[in-house]
Amino acid sequence: MTGSGAAAPIAPEPEHGPGPVAAADDVITWADFRAWERQVKSSGACSHPVRLHGRIDAIDLATGETAPVYDTSAEPGGVLHVACGNRRESRCPSCSAVYKRDARQLVRAGLTGGKGVPESVATHPCVFATLTAPSFGPVHSRRVRGKTVLPCRPRRDASKRACREHGRDISCNVRHSPDDPRLGRPMCPDCYDYEAAVLFNFHAGELWRRFTTYLPRHLARLAGVTGKRLRAELRIRYVKVAEYQARGVVHFHAVIRLDANTPDGFAPPPARYTPALLCDAIALAARAVRLDVPGSGPRIRLGFGRELDTRPIWCQDFAATGNPLDATAVANYIAKYVTKAVDVPGLPDTRIRHASEIGALRCPAHHKRMVATAWDLGARTSVGDPRLRLWAHQLGYGGHPLTKSRRYSVTFGYIRGERVTARQLERHPDGERDPWGRPLDETEVLVLATWSYAGTGYTLRTPAAELALVSADMARGR
Ligand SMILES: [Zn+2]
Ligand SMILES: [Zn+2]
Ligand SMILES: [Zn+2]
């Protein structure tokens, strides 16, 4: 093997994105090489690129001969900048924009077809559902009926206006504007059940898992078939995103689609499974979810809130009738949330390592209290799950922003690969050639990559670096 002795495996935050595919001294396939190349080419506006030293050689498997394909010594400054691939808008505006675009395509493909999914999926029963958390105490909220904004929490009766224990005013006559900083803040922070709110976030993934277990049972009952029959003829597929509400509690937006249980995966289900039936089953399944979890005192019962929204998505036949929920709107709506973590100024986007950091946070008192609650619950004496501390900066929620069932549509990897292929075709319209000038045969030629990690960020003030830093600044300003 070639390479410098200092070569180190590269693993910058694997949970946040694709990252460079090549580790040190890796023999990779030509496809891997192309995936890597795609990242390099798109690092133009990345604000925290990874810097690499190294080279790539092609190996002819038949003769054992090697030929250079690429060497970073030819780059300005002798380093290569690889996009960080971070999906968080606050971390890297450029990489998160790419991720958001991919998410939109992924959701859309499951609604209208494309990316290898047949267009006929648009005829399948499909519902857009929002599963929220229950109330943990009165908070300021913007209430709208039609086009009228209603008072937040009017209470005419004086006895209902004050909280019983602390005497605080828990009524509010304000018609809040959408950007009112009071939105989501509890009216009496001492009555607000911070523990249950944090534990809801922490267990939200398990609540969703239970929901997906119950859903087929309720569907079967409503359709009048046995569970066995339902499993034989139906597949339930979904994609969902987690969104933080103003009060700092996550809720889920999901696209839930019914397919026939066929080997190729994408056929319409039997006619008895209608969108209306699916809406009813979703409501029943969501209300049935219960989870008893330990808190600092007695066990706390968690479940989804009463406010449940289910709406059929009409993708094809009904689009012309002007129904508001069309596929594009849904895809855009879901993509909006995948690059956002908690959208609260002053909350750190990395984990908290010591209790003293919480006191120093410059975020609203409400969110600070949620962070502190998660931190305390993570201590040995109460719930004792260390992940509560790991996820304290995310107010207890540790799940991914976007999850989906395997056959909802395609994977992020597929969409990335497609982009690589498209770019390849653009660059080599007559087909690609290997370093020996022959038409490329991926079974004959392998790629040997040798990398060493040289740091993150830009060291050179190149025009591309300047541009990336300026655009990151502008995004932060927004
Ligand atoms: Zn980046
Ligand atoms: Zn209010
Ligand atoms: Zn109170």
> Are 20 and 36 contacting, i.e. CB atoms less than 8 angstroms apart?
yes
CA of 187 to the centre of ligand 3 (A): 8
CA of 390 to the centre of ligand 2 (A): 32
Give dist(CA 467, CA 462) in Å, integer.
9
Mean pLDDT of 130-156: 93
Q: What percent of the chain has pLDDT over 70?
A: 83
Residue 427, pLDDT above cutoff 80 = no
Residue 1 pLDDT grade (very low, low, confident, very high; cuts 50, 70, 90)? very low
CA of 453 to the centre of ligand 1 (A): 16
194 burial level (CB within 10 Å; 0-12, 13-18, 19+) = buried
> Are 365 and 381 contacting, i.e. CB atoms less than 8 angstroms apart?
no
Range with the poorest average pLDDT among 133-142, 220-229, 421-430, 453-462: 453-462
Give dist(CA 435, CA 69) in Å, integer.
7
Among the bound ligands, the one closest to the CA of 162: 3
Domain limits, the chain: 14-90+412-477, 119-136+193-404, 139-189
Q: CA distances (Å), 345 to each of 140, 331, 362, 364, 464, in order?
A: 18, 27, 8, 8, 29
Q: CA distances (Å), 101 to each of 95, 169, 233, 477, in order?
A: 10, 45, 34, 22
CA of 201 to the centre of ligand 2 (A): 23
CA of 459 to the centre of ligand 1 (A): 15
CA of 239 to the centre of ligand 3 (A): 39
pLDDT value at position 318?
44
Neighbour count for residue 372 (Cβ, 10 Å): 18
CA of 278 to the centre of ligand 1 (A): 40
Provide the strand spans (E) within 384-461: 402-404, 445-456
Mean pLDDT of 415-420: 80
CA of 403 to the centre of ligand 1 (A): 22
Tokens of 93: 């505006």
DSSP string of 145-196, one letter each residue: ETTEEEPSB---SHHHHB-TTT--B--B-----TT-TTTT-BSSTTTS-HHH
CA of 18 to the centre of ligand 1 (A): 11
b/e string for 161-188 if b means 16 or more Cβ within 10 A?
A: eebeeeeeebbbeeebeeebebbbbbbb
Give dist(CA 174, CA 141) in Å, integer.
9
pTM of the full structure: 0.79
Give dist(CA 364, CA 189) in Å, integer.
12
Q: How far is CA 174 from the centre of its chain?
A: 34
pLDDT value at position 6?
35
CA of 170 to the centre of ligand 2 (A): 9
Question: Which of these, 194, 334, 351, lies nearest to 251 by C-alpha position?
Answer: 334
pLDDT by residue (tens digit) across 283-339? 999 999 999 998 888 899 999 998 888 988 875 444 444 454 678 888 888 888 877
CA of 372 to the centre of ligand 2 (A): 24
What 3-state class would DSSP assign to 121?
Answer: helix
CA of 39 to the centre of ligand 1 (A): 10
b/e string for 114-144 if b means 16 or more Cβ within 10 A?
A: eeebeeebbebbbbbbbbbbbbbbbbbbbee
Residue 21 pLDDT grade (very low, low, confident, very high; cuts 50, 70, 90)? very low
